[in-house]
Structure 1
Amino acid sequence: MGDSNAGKDFQGTNLAKPIAYLGLLVCVVSASACRDGRSELDQLKDKTARLEERLKGLEAERASLRQEVLHLREIRGQLISSSYRKMNPQQVQVMEEKREKWEKLSEVSQALGLKRGSIVADVGAGYGFFAIRFAQMVDSADHVFGVDTDEELVRRMKHRIQKLGLRNVQVVLGSTGDPGLPSGLLDAVLIADTYHEMKEYRSMLSHLRQALKPDGRLVVLDYF
């Protein structure tokens, strides 16, 4: 009998208490784990928010710097254009003699795919460096458009072309977003040392695409 009661006491009392304590311990540990988990999530949330705020600041700074760069480019372009327009014929000749050495005219002509009968436009032609040479090349362009947005440069380019007696060059005064070229006529278009100065390049490229034949080529040379 004693042994039986002892067994009952062992089963009914001695095991029940450890189980109850164990259950309490599990609850305490689980609550602590939940609190630690929430704390860690809160920390990650705060860190993410700080990083996102910092990213917004960097993006704003990047946008501001980009505007400053564009402004400086515009000023630089204006200074270059101003000095460029003031060149006398002798200075233009010296400049073009130097350009002959590094512009690689034959490679440019090959990139444009020029051949006899080709119709090509030099956009941002300035004094007509490329336009004149394309017109003078044997087995090259049949007709050349020299396009610029500066009235003074257009006037001087016309004068040079008339003086050289070139009849296959047509000078065009374009605008910042429209070169003023006929649609679907051109085999090739060259933009040399000018693309970085374009303010409305999307509009300009759209008009150039319209001016090109379906298999026409656009070549951009820029050393900015």
Structure 2
Amino acid sequence: MNINRFLKLLYRHRFILVAVPLLALVLTYFLTLKLPNVYVSTADIATGIVDPTQQVLGSADGVQESKVNQQFSNLLGTIRLGKVIDQVSYSLIIHDLANPNPFRPKSKLLQQLNSHARAHALETFKKKYQQRAPLDLTDPDEAGLESVLAAQQYDAESLKKNLTVYRADNSDFVHLEFPSEQPQLSAFVLNSLCKEFIAYTSSSEQKNKGNANEFLQKLVKQKLDTMNAKVAALKNYKIQNHILDLK
């Protein structure tokens, strides 16, 4: 087929060539017209796990890389930990209950609550947030509050379903993403999550240091008691054998 015949063929089917992509464009527009807007918020956390000198010098061997990967795996698990996500859930529902401009419209369940019930829910959620305590689902009242969270899609499962967390390539950073229908909501979730994650890890480190200090104190006391017992035994031995004159 020469070029002239090819051009004639294109000219003959020019309407089809124009109509097909145009029709696809129109269909795409109408199919996506009713889709809700999605706003994705992103954040990066520097972990301090990766030694930059090892990255530059290439000195990290397989054992070191395996250790780093395990540390990142533990870190990602901590970010998704219930104790951390619960704090974000509480922050969201506290905002919507206390703020005249909530992130999301009140669910049917939330609308059914009278002013006294909403005040009780707000007080309980604030208390749980301050105590960093989970809701007790065996308690009917707190189980009902869990239903309120779920109705607003603020419960832990709903948040974790939309949350993306991973190590950025082989860097020292953990990358986080969260999509929602409101840009303020997306940003609030990630800001709260980063804050609660840092607070949890800091608290855990302090607790571990306290446990280590307590262990060392007990160990030192045990060694001192053992030494004093041996000194006393030696003193008694010398007295009994007239080796030492205590006068």
| TM over 0.5, shorter chain | no
Q: Decide which structure has greater strand share.
A: 1
Please, what TM-score do these two structures have when normalized by structure 1? 0.28
Please, what TM-score do these two structures have when normalized by structure 2? 0.26
Higher Cα Rg: structure 1 or 2? 1
**Greater RCO, CA 8 A, separation 6+:** 2
